[in-house]
Structure 1
């Protein structure tokens, strides 16, 4: 497994780190005068954040269909090159309209990356060993948050170099770095086991056999059709996955986009704000890996979604009620970040690894991320400047959606537990290989992981 990990995890994690860094660095740029230089007023900054998520909602499923057709190496590298270029252009914008356009295209190029990487990871690992890998990949968000704060505090000191403000250099330098790395990915990024050139035929057959024993036949050769999309989305378990994820997207992006603004209300200057944003992200990384290792150890997911969500709720409860104790308020940001960013990868892994077959996993994973990112739109309008410094409406919205995620997880657990019991009592019919391929996780012999 170590050999597989070394060929897969560093590449997908680095790609996601770059994507998340390019996505949320606008919050760092805001601290260095973006809104002032572009004369943004009212909710224009929030609209800039919102437009990013529009392509996510509509293009996730088509992107995963293209990924399967073109290969992860080619498609995900092209996406990375695209959002790296757009990020550089974002650093050159001169007005509200310009940055609105670049944020839209940033979302367009990034929308296929996240579900595509989860889709790719799911085709390499068994369910019992997947959570640590999914979380390590997802924890790129925590590393990006920590690294982004440190990087922004350094780049922000370039204010005035060649006539550019510090916030422009944040976009230009980070976008250029992404572009260069993703050009290299065209030649080295991983693909599906069936196409991996670094595997021998014996190794390929072994990986295929161990995955079929856990998940059934994956049918990589099968084309995904529009009819498949409609069929998969009729499954209530698939639909529930979208609500599980959306409920945490709101607090996740609420924190990622607005924690610098919240920290600024604690009377820190721009550099101090960026530096104080780093420790919560670092703590979230360590806690997420602990949750993932524990979940894989006991081969259970449900409790490791609801437990961290309760930590998130505790953090928001403190932020809602305490306004005169900076140390406690800062500690609450740790709880929010740790709880949210440790529960999200468990939810995504749990849901994705309970989908059998290439077609059901490609469509299901894209649905979860695409629908879930509606929460990103909600998050961007939750923390408005007029609500500072307490941001009570935004905190209440995050509490409500965190509860939605917890309830959805309970409903999903109930659905799969009921389905497992029903299949256990049903007389199993002999199915052909073709029928098993078509059914995926709907195969009566398949058992969902709780």
Structure 2
């Protein structure tokens, strides 16, 4: 019988994946679907209803969390339009330093944060962090000098460190590779919504200037910080944990989710086993983790460059302070639409690489236009749409692509923490390449962003070529023999290095 074309009935009679061997190393998708259907029948599960339930209970909550986290991080650019630098005497590169100090704790604590989230559970760790950075932002509204601003920005980075990698890690443990992109992109696109909301909120807050003796830029921090802290308390009761512990699932549903996520993968999630240094060493000995780090790093430079200085570029087009805030909104909205459209087609076609490359090219083209065109306001403003949409579409595509090519709680937690942590080192670059004396065109900063966007694109091709080679190597007798010669413990923690696992494009 041709295993590539098993019907559901024939597949069920064969006994499932454990009784069918695929010497070429790739389990056909139709066979995986049949195994999952068999599991659903076994546990009496309606898959469509269950996944809708999971989507409702998991995704909106972490999206709200990250919208507030990203908003609290970048609203300093909105505050600066309203005179923060003048009031706090931020001369020279002091404003850039205030942006950069956020990334010092933010980068260092990424991987430890994922470990702590697994130890304390997501609903405790993520919402606790949210409460702390909300209170910190509120305090930032009362900063009276440069030192106080630096202190609050540092604490903001420390308390936000687990938000992004933790959320990606949590999503990755709920969805299979062929299901994940829409959810990843919807979550990631919350950053674009945060950028849009930031401009709208800042435009509205302008009317509070002088109220109770406080400047409008202070009200941005106070109002958004207080809202974040309050919402974190509600999120504590709503946020889902990992599938093994989720209280909104029945016991049947938990068992189905556990087994479903393991279908076609090499081994179990090993959620119950403590993470060890051996796990860390195993992940960092894999070339893929380094390439995907540089892939993300290259895109973070233009991403943060736009997030922190896009409003400043809009202001150089000649708009008033309030109009600048309002005109900063449409590029973010366009980015959300473009990202979700790419995600829908990417999941439908079960492919990531070409979509990520196309988005990267859009961002590169936008950066080239903003560098080369100085005398046409409409064209320069249009290029911001391309930069924002291309950058914030490419990132969730290749983060999902690379993260879902790691298996198990430990390997995925370490890999996601490293990718996000190392990538965010680029924040130190993006916060300093845009200098006030380079206005109105900011050519040096845009040129640096263009160079790193190109680096990211090259890394995507390197990664695609590398996993193609790895998939072929896994099919060789030599690789299988070498893997089988490993100790039982090493085989158990190997995850995606198992020869039965096929890397996804």
Give TM class, smaller chain. over 0.9
Matched position secondary structure for 1:195: coil
SS at match of 1:194: coil
For residue 244 of structure 2, give the secondary structure of its aligned residue in structure 1: helix
Give the superposition deviation at 1:433.
8.1
Rate the CA distance shift 1:80–1:147 in 2: closer, same or farther, 3 A: same
User: Taking structure 1 as reference, are residues 206 and 432 closer, same or farther at Cα in structure 2, changes over 3 Å only?
Assistant: farther
Matched, 1:410 2:461: yes
Give the structure 1 partner of residue 494 of structure 2. Answer: 439
The answer on whether the counterparts of 1:218 and 1:437 sit within 8 Å (CA) in structure 2 is no
1:184 partner SS: helix
SS of equivalent residue, structure 2 residue 441: coil
- 8 A Cα contact 1:284 1:334, kept in partner: yes
Give, in angstroms, the shift of residue 324 of structure 1: 0.7
1:6 aligns with 2:56: yes
Pair 86,343 (structure 1): closer, same or farther in 2 beyond 3 Å: same
The CA distance in 2 between the partners of 1:244 and 1:435, in whole Å, is 28
For the residues of structure 1 that align with 2:493 and 2:327, how far apart are their CA atoms? 51
Q: How does 1:361-440 map to 2 (within 5 A)?
A: 361-426=412-477, 428=480, 436-440=491-495
Matching residue of 2:104: 54
In 2: Cα distance, 1:420 partner to 1:124 partner: 25
CA distance in 2, matches of 1:121, 1:62: 18
Distance 2:400 2:477 in 1: 28
Give the distance between the partners of 2:297 and 2:273, measured in 1 at CA: 30
| Preserved CA contact (<8 Å) 2:109 2:161 | yes
Match of 2:375 among 312, 324, 328: 324
> Is 1:308 matched with 2:359?
yes
- 1:227 is displaced (CA, Å) by 3.2
- State the Cα distance separating 1:214 from its structure 2 match: 4.0
Query: 1:390 Cα shift?
Result: 1.0
- Of 50, 56, 78, the residue aligned with 1:28 is 78
The answer (yes or no) to whether the contact 1:357–1:437 under 8 Å persists in 2 is no
Name stretches of at least 5 consecutive residues in structure 2 with no aligned partner: 1-50
1:191-270, aligned counterparts within 5 Å? 191-215=241-265, 216-270=267-321
Q: How far apart are the structure 1 equivalents of 2:498 and 2:159?
A: 35
Distance 2:281 2:488 in 1: 23
Deviation at 1:425, TM superposition (A): 2.8
Say if 2:493 is the partner of 1:449.
no
Q: Which whole-Å CA distance do the structure 1 matches of 2:425 and 2:359 have between them?
A: 22
Q: Please tell me whether residue 348 in structure 1 is matched to residue 403 in structure 2.
A: no
| Structure 1 residues 121 and 432, CA gap change in structure 2 (3 angstroms) | farther
Cα deviation, residue 306, structure 1: 1.0
2:422 counterpart SS class: helix
- Tell me, what secondary structure is at the counterpart of 2:100? helix
1:176 is aligned to 226
Contact 2:279 2:493 in 1 (8 A): no
For 1:92, the equivalent position in structure 2 comes to: 142
* 1:251-289 Cα deviation digits (max 9, x unpaired): 000001001111111111110000000000000000000
Match of 2:126 in 1: 76
Cα deviation code 1:67-91 (max 9, x no counterpart) = 1111011000111001001000100
Considering only aligned residues, what root-mean-square deviation do their CA atoms show, in Å? 1.3
Q: Distance in 2 between matches of 1:227 and 1:96?
A: 43
Question: 1:228, CA displacement in angstroms?
Answer: 2.1
1:334 counterpart = 2:385: yes
CA distance in 2, matches of 1:231, 1:89: 42
Match of residue 140 from structure 1: 190
Aligned to 2:30: none
TM-score (ref. length: structure 2): 0.87
Mapped partners of 1:288, 1:12: distance in 2: 18
Please give the per-residue CA displacement for 1:137-192, whole angstroms capped at 9, x wherever unaligned: 00000100111100010012200000000000000000000000111222221100
Q: Is the 8 A contact 2:370 2:446 kept in 1?
A: yes
Cα distance in 2 between the residues matched to 1:124 and 1:436: 24
CA distance in 1, matches of 2:207, 2:369: 34
Partner-residue secondary structure (3-state), 2:331: helix
Q: Distance in 1 between matches of 2:387 and 2:355?
A: 16
What's the CA shift string for 1:295-333, capped at 9, x where partnerless?
111111111111111000111111111111111111000
SS in structure 2 of the partner of residue 198 of structure 1: coil
Once residues 421 and 49 of structure 1 are traced to their aligned partners in structure 2, the CA distance between those partners, rounded to angstroms, is 45
Structure 2 SS opposite 1:193: coil
Residues 222-243 of structure 1 deviation map (CA, whole Å, 9 limit, x = unaligned): 1112332222112110111110
Count matched residues: 450
Pick which of 150-159 and 430-439 moved more. 430-439
> CA–CA distance in 2 between the matches of 1:360 and 1:110?
22
What residue number does 2:10 align with?
none
Match of 1:45 in 2: 95
Deviation beyond 3 Å, 4+ runs, structure 1: 426-437
- For residues 377 and 440 of structure 1, the distance between their equivalents in structure 2, rounded to whole angstroms, comes to 33
Look up the match of 2:23: none
